[in-house]
Amino acid sequence: MRLHNLKPRPGAKHRRKRLGQGESSGHGKTSGRGGKGQTARSGSSIRIGFEGGQMPLIRRIPKRGFNNTRFGTRYIAVNLESLNQFDDGARVDASAIKAAGLANGPGDGIKILGDGELSKKLTVCAHAFSASAKQKIEAKGGKCEVISTEKPVVKA
């Protein structure tokens, strides 16, 4: 097998739809754009939810109630299995977990989940622990230390 013998699998490549090639092609005259109007013009794009100037549905329906998502605590989940990469007897804190690349992205703290098995004795410092994770860490002789996550109180 050489590079010049390589071919894509049958059915993997499609021919480009050739528009405006006569009525019998099936894509002639209006080239699949329908009749006249805004969407028949070149460069036309209408944003999502736009209803031609009519008040959009999302603005017509009443909005009620309180939504807590803005004020909730978002933890970055780290599974117990991934903590096995640290040395036996090590102190694993939030900065060590982030340095190892186990907790990336925005979040209010790190939560250790009990997925997998822990094979080492570790002192784990995190913002939250699941019950099974805490049980497995302490079963190996390790410790669970909870870091407090107090958000600053904004007075309006």
pLDDT of residue 155: 67
Residue 49 lies in a domain: no
Residue 68 lies in a domain: no
pLDDT of residue 90: 93
CATH number where 136 lies: 3.100.10.10
Residue 138 lies in a domain: yes
**30-67 pLDDT, tens per residue?**
999 999 999 999 998 999 999 999 999 999 999 899 98
Residues of the chain with pLDDT under 70: 149, 151-156
Residue 65 lies in a domain: no
Residue 2 lies in a domain: no
Neighbours of 95 (CB within 10 A): 9
Residue 136 lies in a domain: yes
Given phi > 0 = left and psi -120 to 50 = alpha, else beta, which region is 136?
alpha
pTM, to two decimals: 0.58
pLDDT of residue 1: 86
Residue 53 lies in a domain: no
Domain count, the chain: 1
What torsion do the CA atoms of 127, 128, 133, 134 make, to the nearest 10 degrees?
90
pLDDT of residue 153: 66
Residue 19 lies in a domain: no
Q: In whole angstroms, what is the distance from residue 10 CA to residue 96 CA? A: 49
8 A C-beta contact, residue 114 and residue 130: yes
When the pLDDT of each residue in the chain is averaged and rounded to a whole number, the result is 92
pLDDT of residue 7: 94
**Three-class DSSP labels, 20-69:** CCCHHHCCCCCCCCCCCCHHHCCCCCCCCCCCCCCCCHHHHCCCCCCCHH
Structural domain boundaries, residue 118: 75-146
